[in-house]
Each structure stands twice: as structure tokens, then as C-alpha cells.
């Protein structure tokens, strides 16, 4: 009897062994941490959200507070008790019409603080648009030498150190890792805002890969991201302690910093982002005018809207497929797309029921939000909080959003504000169908509730007051006692 003793090819055995080892390593690391996140979600869902005009009384040391500072009313509405000298490290400063979320946040926050009388110095990269008005008032923009738009932290640090020696700053604020941790560890008056951490980006990679078709191969980039993100998470957990104060922009991120990243409770503070309340508000006539301008029927049609970068991680594969199915059953439904990116041409393929408008200025966005009946945010990124959701709610619109801890715990905290869906096509399509069934009148009622909540939580003024109190607390413990 003959046996086949032909040996297996060594390189295949090696490849298989390495793949299994890597897979086991990833699972061994991610499964326990994902379990922790599930516990965070369940614990946060037991907390009763603060409703407008129904703020629960709270008193104590603000550094021990584990919910968003935006939920508390602060005094000093007219002027601050102490004028602070604030240093800001930001990789970019918005000068164009389509800045990213982080620089939009930095601009909105520190412009508001400057308007309150604080002396804000922004250390950033050379501006792409050199037409910015360099005046002597604040915030003062201090650009280091180098190529426009390219961040060089060492050059920014030199400018900061020179100014700090001349007159010390009361507080230093870094947007994410604009200021590296080996420099930050010597600054006791430093606060760093986290707009997303590596552990959240791991979840984002998983959600994006789940959008693959059954026969579609896994992207090499996904493999690379998994191999790269695990060491990055471990590295972040180790070096985050070098930053003295941490500002999380969502309640779920605050829990993650305390529990997964092991930062002491007294050094983690949750302050939600805010948007300019004068730039985003309900204006029916503006919305009707905008609809007419772009050719969307004023009456008899339900209009969905989406805004932002038209890329995969913002969930556009989900919305593209879900809407293509929805419009076949409901031909009266329209979709307005504000933004640019790779999915721009794909949306145009869907026909006249889709209006693709490209990138829009803030004034144009105001009209866009007022022209829609419901705003859709199909993001596949659990990290951070998209400002578009806040802008839509400030404009009096109901929202449809991915069911992520950050959004569920800090934005859509009440079912009356809109709808949430699991980040897949089937769930999104069901949610869109539900919104269509409810109709414009019911969606308008939801939008009013959204606007009331947003006005109490997501304004630039409220955000600035919260940061101001945190910065005062960092300067002087007296201001840490509330009320």
C-alpha cells in the first residue's frame, strides 16, 4: 500500500503559523478590552441624561465629577473672575472654508475664550492662507517657521518657551498630541483634549471591514491597521500619564481614559464640543429658499441630508446602498449631500433624487441644515463626536446616527431627538423607512426637542464657560469647588 509522504512546503507552514499567531495575539488583546467597553456602555446607559431646564443639583470638587461639565450652569456669564494667559498647541488653524473637525473645535473654543477677555496665544503650523488678519488683539496666532500647513512641534515649542519665559502662561492647552508627551510631562498646568484615542480607532477598523461584501477580499490596509493599532494602544496607555489633565470630548471617552487607560479620576474631565450658536439656528424661510435654489420640491417631499467628508470611514458605503434601495420604494424622498470626497461621484449615479453640492462654507451649511427634514450621520468611526450632529440639532433637525457609545451617551441621549441604528445597511435602511413613515410633521417635533437640548449643551458659549472653569481650576484650587 502506497502512502503520500511528500512533505509540505516550509514557507506555507511558516506563513500559516505566523498568521495564526498574529490572529491569536490580536484576539487575546482586543476581546478583553472590548468586554470592558461593553461594560462601560451598559454602565453609562444606566445614567439618567440631563434634560434641558431639568439640571440635577450637584456640588463638590469638579475634578471628581465624571459627567460632562456642559451639564452644569456656570457663573461669570458676563466676564471671567480672572483673566488668563492661555497657550494653545494646535497642528492646524482653520483659514479655508473646509477645515477639519479638530481645528474647527480649536478655533471656536479659543475665539470664544478670547472674546471673554482671556489672552490666548495659538502656536500652530504656518498658515496655508496668508491673508488671515494678523491683529494685535486675541487670539494671537504664532506660526513657526517651515512649510505651510506642516506641523513642527519643536519649532512651536521654541516660540512657546520664549513667550513663557517673558511672562508665564497660566494654563497650556494641547489639541491631542500636538505637544509630545516628553515635553508635556514637565508642564503641571497642561490640559490635553482627546478627539479620539487608538482603542477607538481599533473599533473603527472593525466596523469598516464589516461593510465588505461576502466575496470581497479583506483589504491589506485593514490587516496593516490591526497589526499597527495594538502596539499603538499599548503605547498610548503608557505615555498618556505624562499629560497632567485630560479632556475627553465625550462621556464614553472619559470612561475609557479612566478605566482602560488607567488615568486617575481627578485628572480626567469631560467637556463636550460646541458650535457657534449664532451660525446655526432654525430658519424656515432660509431652508425653503435653499430648496428652491437647488431644485428640490418645496412641498410633498421628505428631504434627508448628510454632510462632511465623503469617505468610507464616515459611513458613505452604508448610506449609498441603503438610500438606493429606499428611493425605489419611496420615489418622493430626496437626499442632499454636502461635502466632497471619493464617494461624490457614486452618489451622483443615484439620479435626480440626490443632490451632491460639494464642499460648503459655514453660511451655506446654515441654509443646508434648514432645507432638510432629518440629518443622517452614518459614521463608522466611534472616536470623537462629529460637529455636524450638533450643528443639525442646533438648526432644529431630528437626527439619524450610528449607535456608538460616544453618540448614544453624549448626543442622542433621548429617543425623542431622532433614531439610532447598528452600523450596517439593513439596520440603516429600516431606520430610514421608519423616518419616512413618520413624515415631516413628526420629524419637526423631534427637531424642536433636539434644538432645545442642543441649546443647553452644545453652544460655543457653554463649551467656553466649561473650559474656562477647568482652566481656572488648574490655576487655582479655589475654583475647583462647585458651586
Tens of pLDDT along 109-168?
999 999 999 999 999 999 886 555 555 588 999 999 889 889 999 999 999 999 999 999
Are residues 290 and 236 part of one domain?
no
CATH code assigned at 399: 3.40.50.2000
| Nearby residues of 389 by Cβ (< 8 Å), 6 or more positions away | 375, 377, 399, 401, 407, 411, 412
Q: 213 and 309 share a domain?
A: no
User: Taking residues 322-348, what's their average pLDDT?
Assistant: 96
Are 290 and 334 members of one domain? yes
What is the rounded CA–CA span in Å between residue 302 and residue 296? 10
- pLDDT value of residue 190: 98
Q: Is 66 exposed, middle or buried (0-12, 13-18, 19+ CB in 10 A)?
A: middle
Contact 359, 98 (CB under 8 A): yes
Q: Is residue 7 scored above 50 in pLDDT?
A: no
Together in a domain, 161 and 211: yes
3-state secondary structure the chain: CCCCCCCCCHHHHHHHHHHHHHHHHHHHHHHHHHHHHHHHHHHHHCCCCCECCECCCCCEEHHHCCCCHHHCCCCCCCCCCCCCEEEEECCCCCCCCCCCHHHHHHHHHHHHHHHCCCEEEEEECCCCCCCCCCCCCCCEEEECCCCCCCCCHHHHHHHHHHHHHHCCCCEEEEEHHHCCHHHHCCCCCEEEEECCCHHHHHHHHHHHHCCCCCCCCCCHHHHHHHHHHHHHHHHHHHHHHHCCEEEECCHHHHHHHHHCCCCCHHHEEECCCCECCCCCCCCHHHHHHHHHHHCCCCCCCEEEEEECCCCHHHCHHHHHHHHHHHHHHCCCEEEEEEECCCCHHHHHCCCCCEEEEECCCHHHHHHHHHHCCEEEECCCCCCCCCHHHHHHHHCCCEEEEECCHHHHHHCCCCHHHEEEECCCHHHHHHHHHHHHHHHHHHHHHHHHHHHHHHHHHCEHHHHHHHHHHHHHHHHCHHHHEEC
Q: Would you say residue 25 lies in a domain?
A: no
pLDDT value for 56: 55
Same domain, 129 and 227: yes
169 and 292 both lie in a single domain: no
- Whether 34 is in a domain gets the answer no
- Average pLDDT of the chain is 86
Predicted local distance difference test score (pLDDT) of residue 74: 86
Tell me: do 197 and 65 sit in the same domain. Answer: yes
**Gap between the Cα atoms of 461 and 469, Å rounded:** 12
**Does residue 229 share a domain with residue 245?**
yes
Residue 96 pLDDT exceeds 80 = no
Higher pLDDT, 199 or 227: 199
Could you tell me if residue 38 is inside a domain?
A: no
Q: Is the pLDDT of residue 214 over 90?
A: no
Question: Do 255 and 324 have their domain in common?
Answer: no
Query: What total number of domains does the chain contain?
Result: 2
- Same structural domain, 216 and 296: no
- The yes-or-no verdict on residue 25 having pLDDT over 50 is no
Q: Which of 131, 69, 58, 137 is nearest to 96 (CA)?
A: 131
Q: What is the mean pLDDT of residues 88-100?
A: 79
Average pLDDT of span 452-470: 96
45 domain-assigned? no
For position 35, what pLDDT does the model report?
43
Cβ neighbours of 158 (radius 10 Å) = 14
Q: Torsions phi, psi of 194, nearest 5?
A: -105, 115
Say what percent of the chain tops pLDDT 70: 84
Residue 133 has what pLDDT? 53
Residue 157 lies in a domain: yes
| Full residue range of the structural domain in which residue 116 is found | 60-274+461-482
- Asked whether residue 52 is assigned to any structural domain, the reply reads no
Q: 212 with 69, same domain?
A: yes
In a domain, 413, yes or no: yes
Please, which pLDDT band fits residue 22 given cuts at 50, 70 and 90?
very low
- Say yes or no to pLDDT of 15 above 70: no
* Pair 214, 288 in one domain: no
Q: pLDDT tens-digit profile of 61-76?
A: 999 999 999 999 987 6
Residues 6+ apart with CB under 8 A from 446: 398, 416, 417, 418
Give the span between the Cα atoms of 13 and 4, in whole angstroms: 18
What is the mean predicted confidence (pLDDT) over 31-59?
47
Specify the pLDDT at position 311: 93
- Give tens-digit pLDDT for 232-286: 899 999 999 999 999 999 999 999 999 999 999 999 999 999 999 998 999 999 9
230 vs 391, more confident: 391
Cell 491589506 belongs to which residue? 220
Check whether 200 has a pLDDT greater than 90.
no
pLDDT > 90: percent of the chain: 69
> What pLDDT was estimated at residue 209?
80
At residue 199, the pLDDT reads: 82
pLDDT tens-digit series, residues 407-446:
999 999 999 999 999 999 999 999 999 999 999 999 999 9
**Residue 39 lies inside a defined structural domain of this protein:** no
Amino acid at each position: 500500500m502506497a502512502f503520500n509522504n511528500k512533505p509540505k512546503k516550509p514557507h506555507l507552514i511558516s506563513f500559516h503559523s505566523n498568521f495564526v499567531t498574529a490572529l491569536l495575539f490580536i484576539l487575546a488583546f482586543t476581546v478583553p478590552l472590548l468586554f470592558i467597553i461593553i461594560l462601560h456602555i451598559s454602565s453609562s446607559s444606566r445614567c439618567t441624561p440631563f434634560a434641558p431646564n431639568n439640571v440635577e443639583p450637584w456640588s463638590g470638587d469638579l475634578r471628581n465629577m465624571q459627567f460632562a461639565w456642559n451639564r452644569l450652569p456656570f457663573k461669570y456669564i458676563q466676564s471671567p473672575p480672572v483673566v488668563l494667559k492661555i497657550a494653545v498647541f494646535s497642528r492646524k488653524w482653520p483659514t479655508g472654508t473646509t477645515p477639519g473637525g479638530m481645528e474647527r473645535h480649536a478655533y471656536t473654543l479659543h475665539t470664544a475664550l478670547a472674546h471673554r477677555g482671556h489672552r490666548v496665544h495659538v502656536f500652530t503650523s504656518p498658515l496655508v492662507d496668508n491673508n488671515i488678519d494678523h491683529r494685535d488683539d486675541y487670539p494671537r496666532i504664532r506660526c513657526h517657521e517651515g512649510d505651510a500647513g506642516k506641523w513642527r512641534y519643536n519649532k512651536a515649542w521654541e516660540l512657546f518657551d520664549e513667550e513663557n519665559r517673558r511672562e508665564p502662561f497660566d494654563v497650556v492647552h494641547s489639541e491631542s498630541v500636538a505637544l509630545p508627551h516628553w515635553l508635556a510631562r514637565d508642564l503641571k498646568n497642561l490640559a490635553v483634549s482627546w478627539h479620539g484615542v487608538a482603542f477607538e480607532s481599533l473599533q473603527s477598523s472593525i466596523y469598516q471591514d464589516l461593510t465588505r461584501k461576502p466575496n470581497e477580499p479583506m483589504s491589506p490596509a485593514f490587516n496593516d491597521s490591526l497589526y499597527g493599532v495594538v502596539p499603538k494602544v499599548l503605547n498610548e496607555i503608557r505615555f498618556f500619564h505624562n499629560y497632567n489633565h485630560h479632556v475627553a470630548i465625550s462621556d464614553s471617552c472619559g470612561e475609557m481614559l479612566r478605566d482602560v487607560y488607567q488615568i486617575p479620576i481627578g485628572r480626567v474631565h469631560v467637556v463636550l464640543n460646541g458650535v457657534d450658536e449664532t451660525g446655526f439656528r432654525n430658519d424656515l424661510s432660509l431652508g425653503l429658499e435653499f430648496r428652491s435654489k437647488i431644485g428640490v420640491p418645496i412641498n410633498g417631499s421628505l428631504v434627508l441630508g448628510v454632510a462632511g467628508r465623503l469617505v468610507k470611514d464616515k459611513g458613505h458605503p452604508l448610506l449609498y446602498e441603503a438610500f438606493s434601495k429606499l428611493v425605489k420604494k419611496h420615489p418622493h424622498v430626496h437626499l442632499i449631500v454636502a461635502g466632497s470626497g471619493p464617494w461624490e461621484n457614486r452618489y451622483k449615479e443615484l439620479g435626480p433624487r440626490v443632490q451632491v453640492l460639494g464642499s460648503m462654507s459655514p453660511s451655506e451649511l446654515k441654509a443646508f441644515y434648514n432645507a432638510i427634514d432629518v440629518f443622517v450621520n452614518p459614521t463608522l468611526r466611534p472616536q470623537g463626536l462629529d460637529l455636524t450632529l450638533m450643528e443639525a440639532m442646533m438648526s432644529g433637525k431630528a437626527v439619524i446616527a450610528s449607535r456608538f457609545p460616544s453618540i448614544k451617551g453624549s448626543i442622542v441621549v433621548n429617543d425623542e431627538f431622532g433614531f439610532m441604528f447598528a452600523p450596517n445597511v439593513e439596520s440603516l435602511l429600516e431606520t430610514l423607512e421608519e423616518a419616512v413613515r413618520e413624515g415631516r410633521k413628526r420629524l419637526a417635533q423631534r427637531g424642536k426637542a433636539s434644538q432645545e437640548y442642543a441649546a443647553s449643551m452644545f453652544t460655543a458659549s457653554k463649551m467656553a464657560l466649561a473650559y474656562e472653569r477647568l482652566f481656572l481650576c488648574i490655576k487655582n484650587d479655589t475654583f475647583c469647588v462647585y458651586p
